[in-house]
Amino acid sequence: MSQSVFKDAPAPCGFKASDIGAYFYKIRDDTVRPRQFLGADNADGIEAILSEREGHSLHEIIDGDEPLRPIIDFDLSQEVLDTIEPKLTRKEIGNLLYRAFIETCHEIFPEWNDKTLTIASSSDAKKMSLHISTTGMRLPNIAKVSVFTELFREKLPVGLQKKGIIDNIANVGPSKSFSLRMLGSPKIDKETGSHKRVKKVMYPKDGSVFDFMIRPPNDESEVVDSPLLKVPETEVKRSNDTVPEVSTNGEATQADFDFVESLLEENCIEGYTLSFPSENIPDLFPLTRNSPSQCPLCDREHTSDNAYIIRKNKSFRFYCHRANHERKPGTRNPSKKLTINETALNREKKLPSPVKLEQSRISNPKDRFVWWDLIRMCTTGKKFSRTEVYEAIQSTVAYIQKKIPIWILKHKDSENGLYFDMGAELKLAKFEIKIIEYGGESVKLKTLIDQAVIKGLIVYEDYDFLPYPISVSQPDSDFFNLFLGFLAKPATKVNKEIMDPILWHVLNVICSGDEKLNEYIWNWWAYLVQKPEKKPRTILVLKSTLQQCEKNIITDFIGDKVLGEHLHYAGSDLEKMLERFNSVIQARKLIVMNETGMSSGEWHRFNGHLKSLITEGKVSIERKGLETKRLKDFAGYMVTSNQDAPLKIDIGDSRIVCFDVSARCRGNMAYFN
């Protein structure tokens, strides 16, 4: 008959509440949330647990002062292994570990039998993970196992001695406990909650689960002590047990209050009513007794005594007034540190889904919040609510699920203009942001962005260039719109000091005094703004036989100051515009091709493709790392040239409008200044 008990209780209250304290064998199930503690009195009970929880991440819990087997917990990532000098293979490291364990066993127990060695592995390509123990002897207590581990560590090369590699899991003090994953159990990925790296037998091949336990039932192996296992008489430092000085972190918010409530629930502290801190002591949360319950500090039931919680930075500690009163003279007030054992990701999954913005902010040209502002939220060290963080993410990041995923980020240029950047990967440094609901705990920004994708906050069906007039509100669409509006806004009054020189220059220099051409070019430029969803369907060619006539001075003004840099592109490298990897012409309203440095042969080579761009309503954009995309194209094209015939004009071709730029102001520095 199985003598096991299954108690649902979040860590670490199982033992404190005595729900499995009476059982000699204790097992923790990390697969479920909250964690579950299980107890058994014999081998049958353990086997029942393993059978009922097959495939779960089960951990053997070791506490008390009973004899137990020595255990080595070895973890070495491949990344660290590659840096160790001299270079070692995994097989060579394994042999070093086995020899060191065998030597240590023989040092403290010369009669120890090598054949009682046990080795279990949960290694994979990213990490080498081994548990080494023996069925041939036991050590008197946990403290002796800790000393054994240090004797073992000294026998390894210096590169393998680091505490992050040899984890002395028994080095927890005489009154504490530790745990080790059981044979056949997977490890829980803290980020995703998925199972990985199942612990499997290496030696002996026919070993049972009891051969790989630290304190198995019916173990009759010899209990060995040795002068080499002498526990150093070091002063036991009571770290974190001092009375916290009350800091001044500011007024507690509702999110702070909710987090403290979750801490009380997670740590099984019941029978109190939680109150907000006072203005005088903003980091002390009073607890008023409302029903009898067990005090975790006094270890007995209280019926009337009150308590309190003190916050210091990101740490929270529980204090009991009776425990303070009964403490020994000269000692500090006893306290209990309150923790949540779940990862931030698991807690995030349990919280209410973040709210999707009714109106998109990332495509709103009036919204100046950009990717850099989100990064600054991480680097300032300030705390933000989940609502603030998810709004910031929705304002700066978009995601499109394709065969090759597409990430889009909103940026700001040096002229305060907005633009989008995109790629197949979201490469982030280890940015973290402090969340109020987690007690100020830092959470990886990438984790929160991934959650925004999963919840559909930043996911779009596809992307396109969908410009709209200034007088029209931003339209709603399942498509991500690359259009961010025009830089210049409608003016109620014309500034003659600005416009008169521009009007004179266009008429007398660009149009050489031709009134019809002057009217045409202004209508052409106006069409870009007034009918942004249409193409002009003609190309303007500004040509002059002499250089330094400043043909670009007016195109730069229209492009950068009226349309905005994100809608204007000017360049002399025609390959960037007319061949592969042409993303520079994506989502533009004005594209100016300057012939500087280009031969007439190169112009004519691109002649046919350029003419098709003038009238076609779509353009194929090829960006490195992404699939080729057909986008709507409403760009107007201009060419500035010092050649007499930069484009080949066929008879009846009405797509090209030529301007003979006057040289009347050439070299007049005072005029251009």
Which positions ≥6 away from 225 have C-beta within 8 Å?
Answer: 139, 140, 144
Residue 515 domain-assigned (yes or no): yes
448 with 433: CB under 8 angstroms?
Answer: yes
Same domain for 218 and 263, yes or no, is no
Give the helix/strand (H/E) hosting 403.
Answer: none
Same domain for 93 and 208, yes or no, is yes
For the domain that residue 515 is a member of, what is the CATH number? 3.40.50.300
For residues 152 and 154, give the distance between their C-alpha atoms in angstroms, rounded to a whole number.
6
Backbone angles phi, psi at 256, to 5 degrees: -60, -45
pLDDT tens profile 266-278:
788 888 888 888 7
Give the helix/strand (H/E) hosting 82.
Answer: none
Q: What is the dihedral of CA 135, 136, 140, 145, to 10 degrees?
A: -70
Same domain for 331 and 362, yes or no, is no
**Does the pLDDT of residue 159 top 70, yes or no?**
yes
Could you tell me which residue, 48 or 280, shows the higher pLDDT? 48
**Does the pLDDT of residue 460 top 90, yes or no?**
yes
Q: pLDDT confidence of 69, banded at 50, 70, 90?
A: very high
pLDDT tens profile 226-281:
989 987 654 333 333 333 333 334 567 777 888 888 889 878 888 888 888 877 78
Residue 249 domain-assigned (yes or no): no
pTM, whole model, 2 decimals? 0.49
pLDDT for the residue numbered 175: 38
Question: Could you tell me the two tokens for 320?
Answer: 């009991």
Residue 554 domain-assigned (yes or no): yes
Same domain for 543 and 575, yes or no, is yes
* Domain closes at, from 341, 373, 394: 341
Residue 78 domain-assigned (yes or no): yes
293: which strand partners? 302
Please give the average per-residue pLDDT across 193-198, as a whole number. Answer: 81
Dihedral-angle region of residue 153 (phi above 0 means left; psi in -120 to 50 means alpha; beta otherwise): alpha
Q: What's the chain's Rg over C-alpha atoms?
A: 36
Give residue 510's domain range. Answer: 496-672
Same domain for 420 and 289, yes or no, is no
Query: ∠ CA 171-173-179 to the nearest 5 degrees?
Result: 60
Which positions ≥6 away from 364 have C-beta within 8 Å?
Answer: 474
pLDDT for the residue numbered 242: 30
pLDDT for the residue numbered 39: 84
Please give the average per-residue pLDDT across 429-438, as a whole number. Answer: 84
Could you tell me which residue, 449 or 439, shows the higher pLDDT? 449
Same domain for 505 and 523, yes or no, is yes
Q: How far from the centroid of its chain's Cα atoms is residue 269's Cα?
A: 32
Range ranked top by mean pLDDT from 60-64, 189-193, 247-251: 60-64
For the chain, the average pLDDT equals 83
Residue 614 domain-assigned (yes or no): yes
Could you tell me which residue, 69 or 20, shows the higher pLDDT? 69
pLDDT for the residue numbered 392: 95
**Does the pLDDT of residue 23 top 60, yes or no?**
yes
Place of tokens 């990332």: 362
Sort 625 into a burial class: Cβ within 10 Å, 0-12 / 13-18 / 19+: exposed
Residue 328 domain-assigned (yes or no): yes
Residue 279 domain-assigned (yes or no): yes
Same domain for 115 and 168, yes or no, is yes
Same domain for 508 and 613, yes or no, is yes
Same domain for 535 and 584, yes or no, is yes
> How many domains does the structure of the chain reveal?
4
pLDDT tens profile 303-356:
778 899 998 877 899 999 888 888 887 788 899 998 776 666 677 777 778 888
Give the helix/strand (H/E) hosting 388.
Answer: helix 386-396
Q: Which of 5, 12, 20 is nearest to 268 (CA)?
A: 12
Residue 42 domain-assigned (yes or no): no
Q: Which of 575, 673, 563, 565 is nearest to 622 (CA)?
A: 575
**Does the pLDDT of residue 641 top 70, yes or no?**
yes
Same domain for 335 and 353, yes or no, is no
